[in-house]
Amino acid sequence: MTRLVVIAGLAWMVSAVGARADDYVFEDLGVAVRVPGQGIIFVTEHPDGHAIGWGRHETPDFMGLLGVRLDTGEHFLVDLSMFGRGHVIATLGADGNIYAYGGTPNAHFTRVDPVTREVTDLGVPEPNTHYFVAGAMAPDGVWWTGGYPSAALVRLDTNTGEFGSVGRLTDDERNRYLWPAVAVAADGMVYCPVGLHHQELYAYDPATGAKAQILADDLTALSGSPTVWLAADGNVYGRSSGGADGPVWYRCTPTGIERVEEAPARAREVPRTSDWAVGGIGRDGVMTLTNAETGEQRTLQTDYLGHELRIYCIADEWQGRIWGGTISPAQVFAVDPVTGEITEHGKRTGGSTQVYDIIGTPEGLLLASYGGACLDLWDPEAPGDEALRALPRGEMQERPARWTVGPDGNYYVGTVPIKGHVGGGLARVTLDRLDATWWIYPIGEQSISACAPVPETGELLCATSIRGGTSAIPTEIEGHIFLWSCAEERVTHIDEPVPGADTYYAPVRADTGIIYLLARTDEGTRCVAYDPVQRETVFVGELPGGYGRFPWLHDRPVGPEGLIIGLVDDAVWAIDPADHSTRVLARHESISSAHGFMVTEDGVLYYGSGTHVWRCRLLPEAE
């Protein structure tokens, strides 16, 4: 249901858009994408005689556990959000309680009574650890896991509730991930993959406290992280990818790896009651239970509707719709600006996790997604396999930030490299050939955050950052802007408008030809006006707030006065190119959690706030 919110109490006039601040109406259009279904991790028996299947439930506003009664299909949630929202993992302990690990910035171990649902905070085993995938249970009931950015191995004894930390496994500061998950062999040895700048694999002996890096030198030279798992034979096996000859498979030992031609599959335990194997919740809310002896199957209709996805981008207006995407997993949606109806389009990107940006073209929608810096062309009207076409990827690139139409009519996007590495890329997509040309490291070990066209000279102005992929250690001390000749395919000019800025981002060309962008310094964010033809900085000013909202500035001027629109803190703000001044247009609490926004040609702001799509008209409607 659409909800209207009229803000009040703001007294200043906003003549540039023809309205007073207290006249703006903020409209909640509702949830963009709801993903149905959920996996079941384990089952507990209730004293009243029914069983409960347990899984996870994570949204931008909630972190906790999902429980489903296997007699009625009724679901309930156990809230663990008091420790900060983020990922949570859980296991059934040796003492019959549920143990969970989650929260941010410091993940907590917690005990959950499966009958009373009472939550007990056990504590933080390792500070500054909050991103992880899964834990592994040892034969003695000790649960092992770890995470980012500490790359520390932590443990919880599910017999007693006692916990602790082995500490950081690697001495290399470039590797900050214990990823993707640890594995414990039948003999109790713990094997821990570490990366992602380069691959490492540690064997840890809980009996002696000894640890050793066991991966061979030719594999530690590769970027990424190995994958390890427990097989049915009680051994832990691993896989490293990225070599010239393809994946390498091996068996893990306390002192090294033994390469094998083929590794056995992961040992999997199916959640079950005493009589029934329990499947996950399907898209329609139905669970399938299989009798362990007879193979008979029965279905159970649950009342679980799934979980809402956080909006990552609202990016472009194309064919009468507003297009956007989500995070974890990456899904695409569209908004009808007339009715406010939201349509889910599912996965339409090569990247599985985040839709960074979408831009409409005569051939369809160009999508940029994470990971792998995936660039895809999707035609919603094309049939079947013809609808989605993947473009070539850039070597060691991970995050493509924002599309720009160049002065040559082609489409450009800058990228951030893979985790642990510095040095981004610039990609050009040519629609008539449906191809992507990449230039990696065009400006050295800097990421390219975004570009803006300079039609007067046939160039792009590109903004860069010394920061690389997550956990990377910068090698340079100052970010740049640079001009790129689209015809000559080379850097023609480099500049630093704000001395000491480590990052420049969100360049936007005003109708005056001046390009506005943001610069991050130790003292805060600055707003920069730059003349790309004269190649000089013409103004540096302050933002009317502290924390900008992605993508920080709308990529085109808005309205008859050509305002540059942004979101900061809880406010809509604007740059007036007439005098470089900045001002707040309106405030609303939903902007405090905004991520992804754009402004339509007729002056309507659309943005994501958590899982909901919001909009607000900035320009008066045409009569």
- Is 415 a domain residue? yes
Other C-beta atoms closer than 10 Å to the C-beta of 82 total 13
Question: How is 24-77 classified by DSSP, letter by letter?
Answer: -EEEEEEES-EE--B---EEEE-TTS-EEEEEEEEETTEEEEEEEETTT--EEE
- Is 302 a domain residue? no
More confident residue, 367 or 23: 367
More confident residue, 283 or 32: 32
Q: Judge if 254 and 320 occupy the same domain.
A: no
Q: Judge if 520 and 569 occupy the same domain.
A: no
Instruction: Report the DSSP beta bridge partners of residue 333.
Output: 324, 344
Amino acid identity at 472: A
- Is 237 a domain residue? yes
Question: Taking residues 310-327, what's their average pLDDT?
Answer: 97
Residue 17, pLDDT > 60, answer no
Confidence band of 5 (pLDDT split at 50, 70, 90): very low
Tokens (6 digits) for 540: 């540096």
Residue 540, pLDDT > 70, answer yes
Q: What is the pLDDT of residue 85?
A: 84
Residues in Cβ contact with 433 at an 8 Å cutoff, skipping those fewer than 6 apart: none
Residues in Cβ contact with 66 at an 8 Å cutoff, skipping those fewer than 6 apart: 38, 54, 55, 56, 57, 75, 76, 77, 78, 304
Burial 430-450 (b: 16+ CB within 10 A, else e): eeeeeebbbbebbbebbbbbb
SS3 content of the chain, % helix, strand, coil (to 5): 5, 55, 45
- Residue 527 DSSP SS3: strand
Residue 100, pLDDT > 50, answer yes
Lowest-confidence segment of 21-25, 106-110, 140-144 by average pLDDT: 21-25
Confidence band of 12 (pLDDT split at 50, 70, 90): very low
Domain end call among 269, 295, 326: 269
For 39, the domain range is 35-269
User: What pLDDT digit, counting tens, does each position of 599-619 carry?
Assistant: 999 999 999 999 999 999 999
Rg for the chain (alpha carbons), in Å? 26
Q: Judge if 53 and 197 occupy the same domain.
A: yes
Return the closest-CA partner of residue 345 out of 374, 389, 388.
388
Q: What is the pLDDT of residue 7?
A: 35
Residues in Cβ contact with 63 at an 8 Å cutoff, skipping those fewer than 6 apart: 79, 80, 81, 83, 84, 85, 86, 87, 88, 102, 103
User: How far apart are the two ends of the chain, measured CA to CA in Å?
Assistant: 27
Taking a C-beta distance cutoff of 8 angstroms, is the pair 114, 98 a contact? yes
Return the closest-CA partner of residue 38 out of 22, 16, 51, 56.
56
Distances (CA, A) of 129 to 77, 120, 228: 24, 20, 21
Q: What is the pLDDT of residue 386?
A: 80
d(CA 72, CA 51) in angstroms, rounded, equals 10
Q: Judge if 378 and 480 occupy the same domain.
A: no
Q: Number of folded domains in the chain?
A: 4
Question: Taking residues 523-541, what's their average pLDDT?
Answer: 97
By the 10 Å C-beta count (0-12 exposed, 13-18 middle, 19+ buried), 202 is classed as: buried
Q: Judge if 349 and 231 occupy the same domain.
A: no
Residue 182, pLDDT > 60, answer yes
Q: Judge if 54 and 102 occupy the same domain.
A: yes
User: What pLDDT digit, counting tens, does each position of 556-585 carry?
Assistant: 999 999 999 999 999 999 999 999 999 999
pTM for the full predicted model: 0.92
Domain end call among 542, 573, 598: 542
Question: How is 258-322 classified by DSSP, letter by letter?
Answer: EEESSPPPBP-PPPB-SSEEEEEE-TTSEEEEEETTT--EEEEE-----EEPEEEEEEEEETTEE
Confidence band of 99 (pLDDT split at 50, 70, 90): very high
CATH number at residue 13: 2.20.25
Tokens (6 digits) for 31: 């949830």
CATH number at residue 234: 2.130.10.10
Residue 378, pLDDT > 70, answer yes
- Is 204 a domain residue? yes
Return the closest-CA partner of residue 526 out of 556, 550, 502, 510.
502
Return the closest-CA partner of residue 214 out of 189, 231, 187.
189
- Is 275 a domain residue? no
Q: Judge if 608 and 572 occupy the same domain.
A: yes
Q: What is the pLDDT of residue 292?
A: 87
d(CA 72, CA 244) in angstroms, rounded, equals 53
Q: What is the pLDDT of residue 445?
A: 96
Residue 18, pLDDT > 60, answer no
| Sign (positive or negative) of CA dihedral 460, 466, 467, 468 | positive
Q: Judge if 104 and 156 occupy the same domain.
A: yes
Q: What is the pLDDT of residue 21?
A: 52
Confidence band of 4 (pLDDT split at 50, 70, 90): very low
Domain end call among 219, 248, 269: 269
Residue 8, pLDDT > 70, answer no
Question: Taking residues 543-555, what's their average pLDDT?
Answer: 94
Q: What is the pLDDT of residue 133?
A: 80
65: left (phi over 0), alpha (psi -120 to 50) or beta: beta
User: What pLDDT digit, counting tens, does each position of 288-308 carry?
Assistant: 999 989 999 999 999 999 999
- Is 287 a domain residue? no
Amino acid identity at 181: A
User: What pLDDT digit, counting tens, does each position of 49-91 carry?
Assistant: 999 999 999 998 899 999 999 999 999 999 999 999 888 999 9
Query: How much is the mean pLDDT over the chain?
Result: 94
Cis amide linkage into residue 254, ω under 30° from 0: no
d(CA 518, CA 526) in angstroms, rounded, equals 6
Q: Judge if 6 and 74 occupy the same domain.
A: no
Q: Judge if 430 and 536 occupy the same domain.
A: yes
- Is 276 a domain residue? no
Residue 545, pLDDT > 80, answer yes
Instruction: Report the DSSP beta bridge partners of residue 286.
Output: 301
- Is 282 a domain residue? no
Q: What is the pLDDT of residue 20?
A: 53
Q: What is the pLDDT of residue 3?
A: 37
User: What pLDDT digit, counting tens, does each position of 205-248 carry?
Assistant: 999 999 999 999 999 999 999 999 999 999 999 999 866 778 99
d(CA 85, CA 153) in angstroms, rounded, equals 21
Question: Taking residues 543-552, what's their average pLDDT?
Answer: 93
User: What pLDDT digit, counting tens, does each position of 476-488 carry?
Assistant: 999 999 999 999 9
Tokens (6 digits) for 110: 């917690």
Q: Judge if 56 and 163 occupy the same domain.
A: yes
Strand spans (E) along 113-189: 119-123, 129-131, 136-137, 142-149, 152-157, 163-168, 177-178, 183-184
Q: Judge if 48 and 136 occupy the same domain.
A: yes
d(CA 387, CA 380) in angstroms, rounded, equals 6
Question: Taking residues 315-331, what's their average pLDDT?
Answer: 97
d(CA 30, CA 615) in angstroms, rounded, equals 11
Question: Taking residues 426-455, what's their average pLDDT?
Answer: 96
User: What pLDDT digit, counting tens, does each position of 147-164 carry?
Assistant: 999 999 999 999 999 999
Q: What is the pLDDT of residue 245?
A: 78
More confident residue, 22 or 474: 474
